[in-house]
């Protein structure tokens, strides 16, 4: 499914807020366009951010799932 960068971030951010560690105040890193690394790979990734030990696994799990489902419109 193809979505705009704003839609993709909104989806990721909403799910991240639901799953992030309590009482952490981390935010979902912003999405950024990139060249796919392989055939069928996502055309987006996350901008670099300061990792949180408690929230990094949540971000990684969401990105792993969302890269299989969504591509970003230019």
Q: Give the pLDDT confidence of 13-71 residue by residue, as tens digits.
A: 999 999 988 888 899 999 999 999 898 899 999 999 888 899 999 999 999 999 999 99
pLDDT at site 24: 87
Per DSSP bridges, beta strands 31-33 and 44-46 are antiparallel
Contact by Cβ (8 Å): 33, 43: yes
How far apart (Å, rounded) are the C-alpha atoms in residues 74 and 57? 28
Q: Which residues fall within 8 angstroms of residue 13, CB to CB, at 6 or more apart?
A: 27, 28
pTM for this prediction = 0.89
């Amino acid at each position: 499914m193809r979505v705009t960068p704003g839609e993709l971030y909104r989806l990721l951010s909403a799910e991240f807020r639901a799953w992030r560690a309590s009482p952490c105040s981390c935010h979902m890193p912003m999405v950024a366009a990139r060249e796919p690394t392989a055939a069928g790979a996502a055309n987006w990734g996350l901008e670099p951010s300061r990792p949180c030990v408690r929230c990094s696994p949540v971000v990684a799990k969401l990105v792993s799932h969302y890269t299989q489902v969504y591509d970003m419109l230019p």
